[in-house]
């Protein structure tokens, strides 16, 4: 069996076959330049849409200029959990992976970055890559050092937390207990407890000193049914703060685990901050659709203390200076406001960026305030006077900018949607190293109309633009969904465009006029969707009632017709519409009768690995599944003839 390595590929977000079955197209975190090489007729559009990240997996023998074929030894196959029986090929991706978060070690020597296939450890002063921590079978969502720096904790969508020895980078412990993706982790200030939060609203508290390979949490907290988006201890460790996707905040007493809820909802959990003395919580407010103010709350009682009103747009970030006297707020109005953290009095407004400001960070010695903007620059300001000192350039313009100071203040790290993380020497203001190939851009999803004449492009600002696929000209139709587009799909007749946002809200639009038709009824979170080939049914992967299900809905009314009770992560129809394939959280692929919802076959892919993508070839004879960094091609002709012989079991009752 040959394993095909795609040199430039990082993170596969979805799978689709080209019409000639020779190319499997995947939405990934890499620039347009690779797509330009593959689709010359699209050159005009691609130049206009320079931030979309698309890449191709070649399923037939590729050219040596772009790909290399590596013959796997039996040892390598076993190491990769083997080739499942009934599969024709196994495609892997050995890259570093798309990265989502970073943190400095307490001594400032190392930088840990969370990503697709593990945690990357980098020398914070030279940028040299020191280690890649692998073992998780899902995207690594968070990384956190213990206060003494001896342990690194990693959280993953595989529902586990792993602890690593930072002296050897060997794994110490795997913490199992979550039943959904782990999104956030945080150590208590004394380092004795590790808290982890998942997409089901559960927070598990672990003994961080245990050396057991498995263990049980010492406490389980429930903050509702909404995904945990932030975990934070008070400086003295007496309060654990949890924020959820539904914008609620709980304050947990760590002695009794009783909780109080803030009286107002947050604009975003990323704005939530403790004052250095632990007495006050600051965060952006969500009040009657307004997100331009910042609230201050008593960190013990949750009682509202003050409102800071001075921005003309959404507040994206909040930061206290190290002594807690000043609060800095960043906004989409292109400014940073400085406030007296005690009285709430407005002190200064920093003006200079040409676009949205995503992030602010104070230097450890309190003398410099760094601001990162969509304009692609990091600006350094005198923290006392507000005077502009210098501008760090090199990042491309676009969505998102992460900035962090190292604990010793010698290094500033900045990450951008241009696919790079940069390490800056804070004395010379020059880049020490540039780490490439990690983050994502403005465009979140693309979809072709069935006739191939229109390209729909959704972005993180909640806008879908329709482009002429031949000329590259933007058409008149512009759809305002309102929230970042996470899923995008045409109906098979091309008359309806379906959008799904980060909150799981599904909307149907007239693809010709852009007029809103309907939205998904009920309070469910839709993670994936797929139209049946005849366009009459919409299969939706929903998360509700603490479980994942497939709901088959009428494509016009969105009313549920059939529910498949399976812990599912991905879904795809066969070309003839007879079979529905689901990739599941338990590492299996199941085939269902698309009309009756009756289970037909279960294929064992990789035990305990989430199957994140499934797709049929145009002739329906091959099924592609993605799991644990590997892609498997299944021979459906043989499997459907004798399902018991090919990695699965039949249920033909």
* 261-295 confidence digits (pLDDT tens): 877 777 777 788 888 888 888 888 877 667 788 88
- Work out the average pLDDT over 582-592: 85
pLDDT over 90 for what percent of the chain? 17
641: left (phi over 0), alpha (psi -120 to 50) or beta: alpha
Work out the pLDDT band at 529, boundaries 50, 70, 90. Answer: confident
Residue 584: pLDDT above 80?
yes
Residue with tokens 């230097």: 363
User: How many CB atoms sit inside 10 A of residue 516's CB?
Assistant: 14
HSE (CB half, 13 Å, CA atoms) of 131? 17
Helices (H), 53-170: 74-79
pLDDT (0 to 100) of residue 629 = 55
- Work out the average pLDDT over 199-205: 92
Best-predicted range by mean pLDDT among 55-64, 555-564, 639-648? 555-564
d(CA 83, CA 134): 20
Residue 433: pLDDT above 80?
no
* 113-152 confidence digits (pLDDT tens): 887 667 888 887 777 888 888 888 778 889 999 999 999 9
pTM: 0.51
Residue 230 DSSP code: E
Dihedral sign from CA coordinates of 468, 474, 479, 485:
positive
C-alpha closest to that of 280 among 336, 226, 340, 220: 340
**SS3 category, 8:** coil
* Least confident segment among 95-109, 356-370, 587-601: 95-109
Mean pLDDT of the chain: 75
d(CA 634, CA 625): 8
Residue 62: pLDDT above 70?
no
d(CA 229, CA 608): 25
- Work out the average pLDDT over 581-607: 82
Residue 465: pLDDT above 90?
no
Residue 46: pLDDT above 60?
no
Helices (H) and strands (E) in the chain, counts: 4, 58
- Work out the average pLDDT over 287-306: 80
Helices (H), 568-642: 636-641
Q: Note whether 94 and 5 are within 8 A (CB).
A: yes
Q: Note whether 156 and 141 are within 8 A (CB).
A: yes
Output the CA–CA distances (angstroms, integers) from residue 221 to 189, 196, 198, 205, 206, in the order listed: 19, 10, 11, 8, 12
Q: Note whether 90 and 625 are within 8 A (CB).
A: no
* 507-521 confidence digits (pLDDT tens): 889 988 888 888 875
pLDDT (0 to 100) of residue 288 = 67
Which has more confidence, 566 or 469? Answer: 566
Instruction: Please report, to the nearest 10 degrees, the dihedral formed by the alpha carbons of residues 628, 631, 637, 641 taken in order.
Output: -20
* 154-173 confidence digits (pLDDT tens): 999 889 999 999 999 999 98
d(CA 393, CA 431): 10
Residue 608: pLDDT above 70?
no
Report the residue count for the chain: 653
Neighbouring residues of 446: CB distance < 8 A, sequence distance ≥ 6: 27, 52, 54, 455, 456, 457, 458, 488
Residue 606: pLDDT above 50?
yes
- Spell out a b/e string for 632-649, using b for 16 or more CB atoms within 10 Å of the CB, else e: bbbbbeebeeebeebbbe
User: How many CB atoms sit inside 10 A of residue 41's CB?
Assistant: 10
Residue 617: pLDDT above 50?
yes
- Work out the average pLDDT over 76-92: 42
Which has more confidence, 4 or 122? Answer: 122
- Work out the average pLDDT over 71-82: 34
Q: Note whether 496 and 532 are within 8 A (CB).
A: no
Work out the pLDDT band at 20, boundaries 50, 70, 90. Answer: very low
Work out the pLDDT band at 85, boundaries 50, 70, 90. Answer: low
pLDDT (0 to 100) of residue 119 = 85
User: How many CB atoms sit inside 10 A of residue 532's CB?
Assistant: 20
pLDDT (0 to 100) of residue 89 = 47
Residue 539: pLDDT above 90?
no
Beta bridge mates, 99: 115
pLDDT (0 to 100) of residue 91 = 40
- Work out the average pLDDT over 95-123: 74
Neighbouring residues of 264: CB distance < 8 A, sequence distance ≥ 6: 285, 286, 287, 295, 304
C-alpha closest to that of 639 among 89, 90, 91, 85: 85
* 379-393 confidence digits (pLDDT tens): 999 999 999 999 988
* 317-373 confidence digits (pLDDT tens): 899 998 899 999 998 899 999 999 988 899 999 999 988 888 899 998 889 999 988
pLDDT (0 to 100) of residue 473 = 63
Best-predicted range by mean pLDDT among 5-19, 225-239, 541-555? 225-239
- Ranges of beta strands (E only) in 321-418 are 326-331, 335-340, 346-351, 357-362, 368-373, 378-382, 388-392, 401-405, 411-416
d(CA 295, CA 281): 8
């Amino acid at each position: 069996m040959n394993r095909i390595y795609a040199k430039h590929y990082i993170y596969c977000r979805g799978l689709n076959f080209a019409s000639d079955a020779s190319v499997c197209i995947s939405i990934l975190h890499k620039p347009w330049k690779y797509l330009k090489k593959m689709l010359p007729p699209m050159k005009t559009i691609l130049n206009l849409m320079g931030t979309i990240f698309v890449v191709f997996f070649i399923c037939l023998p590729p050219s040596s200029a772009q790909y290399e074929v590596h013959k796997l030894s039996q040892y390598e196959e076993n190491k990769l959990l083997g080739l499942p029986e009934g599969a024709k090929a196994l495609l892997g991706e050995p890259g570093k992976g798309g990265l989502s978060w970073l943190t400095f070690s307490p001594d400032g020597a190392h930088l840990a970055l969370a990503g697709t296939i593990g945690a990357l450890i980098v020398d914070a002063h030279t940028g040299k890559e020191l280690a890649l921590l692998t073992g998780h079978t899902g995207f690594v969502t968070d990384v956190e050092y213990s206060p003494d720096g001896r342990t690194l904790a990693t959280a993953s969508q595989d529902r586990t937390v792993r602890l690593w020895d930072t002296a050897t980078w060997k794994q110490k412990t795997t913490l199992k207990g979550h039943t959904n993706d782990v999104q956030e982790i945080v150590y208590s200030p004394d380092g004795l407890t590790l808290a982890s939060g998942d997409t089901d609203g559960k927070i598990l508290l672990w003994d961080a000193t245990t050396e057991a390979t498995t263990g049980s949490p010492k406490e389980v907290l429930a903050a509702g049914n909404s995904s945990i988006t932030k975990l934070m201890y008070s400086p003295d460790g007496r309060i654990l703060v949890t924020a959820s996707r539904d914008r609620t905040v709980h304050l947990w007493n760590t002695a009794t685990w009783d909780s109080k809820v803030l009286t107002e909802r947050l604009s975003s959990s990323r704005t939530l901050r403790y004052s250095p003395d632990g007495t006050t919580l600051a965060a952006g407010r969500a009040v009657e659709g307004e997100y331009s103010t910042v609230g201050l709350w008593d960190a013990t009682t949750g009682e509202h203390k003050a409102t800071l009103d001075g921005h003309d747009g959404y507040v994206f970030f909040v930061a206290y200076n190290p002594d807690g006297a000043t609060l800095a707020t960043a906004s989409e109005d292109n400014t940073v406001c400085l406030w007296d953290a005690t009285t709430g009095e407005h002190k200064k407004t920093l003006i200079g960026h040409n676009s949205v400001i995503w992030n602010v960070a104070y230097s450890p010695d309190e003398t410099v305030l760094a601001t990162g903007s969509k304009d692609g620059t990091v600006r350094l300001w005198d923290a006392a006077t507000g005077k502009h000192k210098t501008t760090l350039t090199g990042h491309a313009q676009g969505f998102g900018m992460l900035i962090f100071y190292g604990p010793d203040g010698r290094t500033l790290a900045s990450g951008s949607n241009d696919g790079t993380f940069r390490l800056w020497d804070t004395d010379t203001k020059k880049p020490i190293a540039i780490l490439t190939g990690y983050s994502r851009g403005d465009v979140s999803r693309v979809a072709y109309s069935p006739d191939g004449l229109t390209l729909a492009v959704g972005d993180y600002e909640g806008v879908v633009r329709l482009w002429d696929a031949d000329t590259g000209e933007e058409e008149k139709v512009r759809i305002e969904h309102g929230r970042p587009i996470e899923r995008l799909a045409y109906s098979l007749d091309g008359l309806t465009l379906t959008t799904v946002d980060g909150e799981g809200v599904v909307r149907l639009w007239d693809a010709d006029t852009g007029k809103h038709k309907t939205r998904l009824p009920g309070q469910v979170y839709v993670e994936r969707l797929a139209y049946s080939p005849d366009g009459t049914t919409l299969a939706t992967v929903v998360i509700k009632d603490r479980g994942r299900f497939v709901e088959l809905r009428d494509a016009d009314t969105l009313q549920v017709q059939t529910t498949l009770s399976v812990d599912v992560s991905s879904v795809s129809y066969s070309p003839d519409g007879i079979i529905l394939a689901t990739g599941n959280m338990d590492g299996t692929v199941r085939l269902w009768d698309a009309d009756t919802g009756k289970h037909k076959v279960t294929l064992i892919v990789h035990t305990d690995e989430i199957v994140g993508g499934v797709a049929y070839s145009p002739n329906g004879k091959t099924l592609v599944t993605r799991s644990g960094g590997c892609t498997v091609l299944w021979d459906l002709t043989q499997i459907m003839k004798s399902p018991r012989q090919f990695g699965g079991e039949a249920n033909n009752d």
